[in-house]
Chains A and B, each alone.
Chain A
Amino acid sequence: MTLHRIEIEVDGDVIAAEVEGRLTLGDFLRDRAGRTGVHLGCEHGVCGACTISFNGDAVRSCLMLAVQADGARIGTIQGLAEADGTLHPVQAAMQAEYGLQCGFCTPGVVMTLASVLEAEKTPSEERLRDVLSGHLCRCTGYQGMLRAAKSLAIQAQTAAGDA
């Protein structure tokens, strides 16, 4: 079986590897790049737990091959907080609003919200609610993450107003 040499920037680290064509990006990030924070909840693209930032876009890492990500810039949940441990605003909002219980779906939820906020700067609450439809959670009934979406939208709009 042919191996493919790839180089991927993951959370700022450049990782080089030789991979089989069939290795999914999700498995690569978990098993070869040490990003076990990328969770595989269904491996068929429905649950959203494995969502990462791929060149800035929120995508399902179970629905890509690692080899496709050669040369890409990937962000995972593990690269989001500041080096000193300060939480990213999305992480902080999720904690403040009890947006998680078991934490398994959480990395995907956080990466979606963070990437949409990064790309769109001042998304509305409606917009953030809309993108949450791409995530399944079995613990929380979505109550906390919907509150977090609301508070993030308000924060973003307030910050934009101040600027």
Chain B
Amino acid sequence: MKPAPFDYVRAESIPHALEALAGAGADADGDASILAGGQTLMPLLALRMATPSVIIDINRIEALAGVSRVAGHNGSGATRIGATTRQNHVLANELVKAHVPALAKATAFVGHHQTRNRGTLGGSVSLGEPAAEYPAIALTLDAVIEAHSSEGIRRIDALDFYLGAYSTALLPDELVVAVEYPDWPADSVTIVHEVTRRAGDFALVGLICQLAIAEGKVSRAAIGWFGMGATPMRSLAAEKALKGVSLGDIDPRAVAELAISETEPLEDKHATAHYRRSVGTKLFTRLLSAAVAERQKP
């Protein structure tokens, strides 16, 4: 289990990385891989399941790391997280805790302390592992993925990003530079939970739900899943069904069943599709009931 040969480029800046990406694309047999945290890419290299001709290491590009507040597209704010921000930095970051609590909660489930010390937010978002937390969080929270190439900058809605199993809208010459998470009202309900056989493993079933509440009614809902299909999944019909409903009128079981019907879980070595549906339904029903009850407390 040793990586196959490749050319290694340490990118010193974003333009340098983009130049290297463009250059690799120009080669006849060229395919380049971006090396961010490496916690997924390195095993693939060792197993020779990935054999890129060029590895472009973006870890030294200072502009790619860090968390900041930016203006969002609808007048509210957004939290911008640089692609190479380490997962443990995301976990500890006060801006993330305050403005993207779902992301903070989800990060505690990502891998282990040791892998979070290297693993990056951008690496996980761009890979799109269907059972991982970050792609599903991005998808659910309508994050915007900012990709740069030598042609310019594209801001891709997460809803348009995850196309199929490990297949994303990212073009071969594009580099994810940052992910922006638009603000939700500070008093939104946030549910993040996952079921694993062993701490740190990929989720058998993972759930994200965020509800904005205004005047006792759901003003906005977002429901997403991981480990529930070939891509991270979103339950748009269930969200729509929740919108405008008074808290007291929410039927958690019905919402959960509708939401689950929008997923496409697969059977693998770790769980059957039936299992994933059954657990997802029960989990969401229970957590939604509890969250609604909590919010209705005088």
Contacts and interface: CB of A to CB of B under 8 A. Distances in A.
- Touch test A–B (CB under 8 Å): yes
Interface string B113-125: 1110110000000
7 contacts: A2-B8, A22-B8, A43-B1, A63-B115, A64-B118, A116-B113, A131-B112
Given A1-B5, A44-B1, A44-B43, A60 B118 contact: yes
The interface centre, meaning the residue of B3, B114, B199 with most chain A CB atoms within 10 A of its CB, is B114
A48 B114 contact: yes
B200 interface: yes
Contacts of A21: 5-8, 55
A20 to B, nearest CB: 7
A59 B118 contact: yes
Interface stretch (A50-58, A93-101, A141-149, A154-162): A50-58
B5 A22 contact: yes
B38 A63 contact: yes
A134 interface: yes
**A-B complex: 8 closest residue pairs judged by Cβ atoms:** A21-B8, A134-B112, A44-B43, A57-B117, A63-B42, A133-B199, A22-B3, A131-B113
B112 A44 contact: no
B2 interface: yes
A58 B8 contact: no
Which range holds the interface residue count of chain A? 20 to 34
A131 B114 contact: yes
Interface in B153-212: 198-200
Contacts of A22: 2-6, 8, 45
A24 B112 CA distance: 20
Nearest to A44: B43
A150 to B, nearest CB: 18
Contacts of B200: 133-134
B75 to A, nearest CB: 39
Nearest to A55: B117
Contact of A63 (B8, B39, B59): B39
Contacts of B88: 57
A43 B7 CA distance: 21
A99 B88 CA distance: 27
A112 B114 contact: yes
Contacts of B8: 2, 4, 21-22, 65, 67
B136 to A, nearest CB: 21
B47 interface: yes
B253 interface: no
B10 interface: yes
Interface string B1-23: 11111111010000000000000
Interface in B24-41: 35, 38-39
B159 to A, nearest CB: 30
Given A24-B3, A54-B117, 9 more contacts: A2-B8, A21-B5, A44-B42, A45-B42, A54-B118, A60-B115, A64-B118, A68-B10, A68-B35
A84 interface: no
Interface string A79-103: 0000000000000000000000000
